[in-house]
Structure formats: C-alpha cells, structure tokens
Amino acid sequence: MSTQKTVMVGDVPFGGDNPIAFVVGPCQLENRDHAMMMAERVANACAPTGSKFVFKTSYDKANRSSITSARGIGMDEGLRILAEVRDTFGCPVITDVHEISHCAPAAEVVDVIQIPAFLSRQTDLLLAAGNTGKPINVKKGQFLAPWEMHNVAEKIASTGNTQIMLCERGTSFGYNTLVNDFRGLETMGETGYPVIFDATHSVQQPGGRGNSSGGERKFVA
C-alpha cells in the first residue's frame, strides 16, 4: 500500500495511519431544521465508538439534471446554517463550490472546500480553492482515470496548499451507469494524498430517470 500524508480537518485526521474517518450528511442542504436533525443523528451514531466525522451538505447543487430540479437554499443562508452546525455539534463541516467567486466566502466558514466531480479539471476553480489555504477534497471526475488525479492534485499544490484529499465516486460505464475499479484507490493513493471513498454516489445512476438521477440503495453497505 502507498504511504499517504495526514490531512487535518479541524480535529479529524485523514490519511496516514489514522483510524477511518467519515464524511456524512445530506447531499443537498434543504433547510436549517433538517440539517440540524441530520447532524444530531450523525453525532449520536458516532458517539458510542468515538468515530470522527465531518458533516457535509451543499447549499447549491449547480449540476442537477434538469432546470426543474431542486438546487438548494443558496450560499448566504447555507453558510450560516453550516456555521451553526459546526458550532453546535463541534464537528468540522464541508461543502462544495461551483464558482471561483464562492471559494473565499466558503473558506471563511467551512473546514474543507470540495470540488465537484464534473469540475475536477477546471484549473481556475482548483487554483482559487487552493489559494484559500483550506483543505481541499476533489471528487474524481466520472470521466477520469485514477492516474489522472495526479495532475489535478498538482494544480492545487502549485498554490502552495498541499492539504489535498482525493475522492473516488465511480467511473462512467456506458450510459447512466457508474462502476468502481478499486485498484484506483491505490493508484490515487500513490500521489501521497489521502483517498476518500464515496459509497453512495458510486451507485448513482446519473440521469437515469430522464430529468433526474437514480440510484441503487441496495448496494450501499
């Protein structure tokens, strides 16, 4: 196995020889009450084993399948809710950004900036995220080979920020289907950066319902 550096997300270590840590939460930030309820349930589930977690949710899902799809509640309100979750439950928080202009405001609140898979090769976005100095989690594009993530990581590292994590979330296999090649976890780990496995999006069926994505919940452990 490759040797990976440790990236600290608040008090949660990822990579190295550290215990497994979790990134959990609703894909889309629906409203304050739902986010607080989900964060409380996650905290309660992790408490008995002392498991460390980062709470993840997105204030804007700008890559939805259809113009009629729900996107979220927007950056300003979303960041306020994420700050409340962090302060209430004492957990780090992560959200994704889709635009360069979102990086600096998000970095003032969240502990990790996430780059969506569809945007994983967008150089200017990667540089803007890296320049915040925050840890960056990049989701591997469904169209990328695992070894191509080395180039993605180098773009961020060129800013002087090496707090980088790489996320496997499936690879396109024909139409509306994703598969996982678990050899890719080792290949991405050879960059020296921690690797995260997204177990839910990996069984997504992108655009599988025509105007929305589907999924196969039975394959999520």
Q: Is residue 117 part of a domain?
A: yes
Q: Is residue 48 part of a domain?
A: yes
Q: How many domains does the chain have?
A: 1
CATH number at residue 117: 3.20.20.70
Structural domain including 144 reads 18-219
Q: Is residue 3 part of a domain?
A: no
Q: What is the pLDDT of residue 103?
A: 99
Q: What is the pLDDT of residue 94?
A: 98
E strand segments, the chain = 6-9, 12-15, 22-24, 53-56, 93-96, 112-115, 136-139, 164-168, 171-172, 178-179, 195-197, 204-205, 214-215
Q: What is the pLDDT of residue 213?
A: 54
Q: Is residue 6 part of a domain?
A: no
Q: Is residue 189 part of a domain?
A: yes
* pLDDT beneath 70, residues of the chain: 1, 206-221
Q: Is residue 143 part of a domain?
A: yes
Output the pTM of the full model.
0.89
Q: Is residue 8 part of a domain?
A: no
